[in-house]
């Protein structure tokens, strides 16, 4: 027969296990993307450059173009607030061509990224009504 101390241990172990499992989930919570470490982008396995747009909020629907010479490639942010373009290693002019509905971005008319890989952080906020 178990005494009261032994009977409480499974509940305490379960609570400890839940804390251990949930702590990493909540440790990334933050405001304006400040919990996201800025990883240094690396070229892809085939030698192409990997160019990332990362929004300060997780918002889908922002559209950008990566242009070099006469060629422009459109990309759109996904639900995690990122858009990734993989292409020949070069300098690209990046332009915002459309904001997500209900949002605005603090983005200059155009920015340059490259020459091998790179990441641009874009501050976004809800649009004033």
Q: Which residues pair with 49 in a beta bridge?
A: 87
Specify the residue for token string 């009504």: 129
Q: What pLDDT, in 10s, does the model give residues 8-49?
A: 556 665 555 555 655 454 444 444 333 344 444 555 667 789
Q: Say if pTM beats, i.e. exceeds, 0.85.
A: no
CATH architecture of 49-126: Sandwich (2.60)
pLDDT of residue 112: 92
Sheet order of strands, 118-126 included = 82-87, 49-55, 118-126, 103-106
pLDDT of residue 1: 54
Specify the residue for token string 């989930």: 25
Residues 88, 67 contacting (CB under 8 angstroms): no
Q: What pLDDT, in 10s, does the model give residues 53-99?
A: 999 999 999 999 999 988 999 999 999 999 999 999 999 999 999 99
């Amino acid at each position: 027969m178990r005494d009261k101390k032994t009977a409480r241990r499974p509940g305490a172990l379960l609570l400890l296990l839940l804390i251990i499992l949930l702590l990493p989930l909540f440790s990334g919570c933050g405001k304006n993307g400040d919990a996201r470490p800025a990883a240094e982008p690396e070229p892809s396995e085939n030698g192409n450059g990997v160019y990332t747009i990362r929004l300060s909020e997780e918002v889908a629907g922002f559209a950008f173009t990566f242009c070099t010479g006469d060629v422009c490639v459109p990309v759109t942010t996904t639900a995690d607030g990122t858009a990734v373009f993989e292409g020949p290693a070069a300098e690209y002019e990046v332009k915002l061509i459309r904001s997500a509905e209900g949002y605005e971005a603090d983005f200059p008319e155009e920015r340059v990224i490259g020459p091998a890989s790179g990441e641009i952080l874009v501050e976004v906020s809800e649009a004033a009504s």
